[in-house]
Amino acid sequence: MNHLISVISGPTEVFFSPGEDCLGAILGLLHSASASLHLCVFTVSDDRITRAILGAKRRGVEVRLLTDNEKLYDDGSDIRQLARAGIAVRVDNTPNHMHHKFAVADRRTLLTGSYNWTRSAALYNHENILVTAEPRVVAAYAEQFATLWEAMTPFT
């Protein structure tokens, strides 16, 4: 099965790692976005994902990224690179961790799960991704993103 999906073929699909299936689901979602891409992730350190996010920005997709403030300066973190490329980034400056791992593309497709957007997640970890176009579920995550976006601090 080719997991570099351009659209969701059914209401919900699931993917598991280790292996490339979860990565393929993320890349598929990033490549399929045409208008907006709202990313809410603990960190991004997989260069393949970073390239796809930058590609979406170059295609004219509005990309917004929420992340944890303590992960900004980790070795391998690509968050600062994404911010320098003009992607709007906001960070959680509370004592808590912003530990979500979800993305909403075009307000119609949701990707979520335990999968960290890191190279080691694909290579070593038992993780999961769920991708759905179920309108009520997508709307709930889109609303949570909007709430967090307003509450978090712009990263410059």
Catalytic residues: 99, 101, 106
CB atoms within 10 A of CB 149: 16
> What ranges in 18-134 are assigned the alpha helix state H?
21-32, 47-58, 79-84, 119-123
Non-local CB neighbours of 115 within 8 Å, separated by 6+ positions: 17, 22, 26, 101, 121, 125, 127, 128, 129
